[in-house]
Structure 1
Amino acid sequence: MKTPSRLSTVLHGLLHMAGQVEPMTSETLAQCLHTHPVVVRRSMASLRQAGLVHSLRGHGGGWSLARPLSAISLRDVYAALQETLSVKVDIGAPHAQCLVEQAVTRVLADAYLEAEALLVARLGEISLQALLLDIGNGAPFIAGGPPPAGLLAHPPTPS
């Protein structure tokens, strides 16, 4: 994949799936995501185990969402993929002999853990529905028209 994180790629795929009435094959998703179908199947298998997607084999089969968009948070997807914060840099050997290196390693490791906790908490506040509604601020839906009726379990209330 072109991105360093599977999260953004999988979110992209899930939003394409949301605009479809029929399940999407791994091949079709792979075309949307500019990757290989095997990569799609691996990622989707993790999401299936977490109860976020369904799969159906055979003719007419493919992947579909298992829950309404409003019931899937970005944290759900992040957890299913077992992602970790991708901005980590080499912070030194964990058993270094140098006391300075040990201190630097310990402080940076703690900072990365805190940053990841903040990221995970924020991802829990964002649903796929909110992400979909943010696309182009109301531009035509990714599949070429508005989302199918009932796709959004709780439509936004006008403000």
Structure 2
Amino acid sequence: MSSLLGKAKDYVSEKIADMKKPEAEVLDVDLKDVSRSCIIYDAKVSVTNPYSTSVPICDITYCLKSNSREIASGTVPDPGSLKGKDITMLDVALKVPHNVLMSLAKDIGADWDIDYELEIILIVDLPIFGNIRIPINSKGEIKLPTMSDLWTK
């Protein structure tokens, strides 16, 4: 009996490993808004859904780092769903407090940008299989707003 259960477990594990999963990538990170408390950057995330039906997104969590130090993190609750057999564009708002930017003065002063590493985890709810975590990583540079950016908002 235990041999039969072992074979069934192996079969299911193999099928899950071969199962197509949604794929995602960060396309761009740009300035979205400047407020008194923070600067908000917008991460454009492209997600491809291989299934013919829409798939609900449970959560999107993010962690923005610079020089291996976390400068922003958060969760986007109830971000909607992925369209069936299509590409869905998601906007993830990254809120960076002003006081954190001041602590990065050495990196910022050289070229007026932040070298960043962005880690996003997209949690989708697949029928039968349950919640699946899709990790997305991106590295690049975020330009800081200039004085003209602050006055034109």
Report if TM-score (shorter chain) is over 0.5: no
TM norm structure 2? 0.25
- Which has the larger share of helix? 1
- Which has the larger share of strand? 2
TM norm structure 1? 0.25
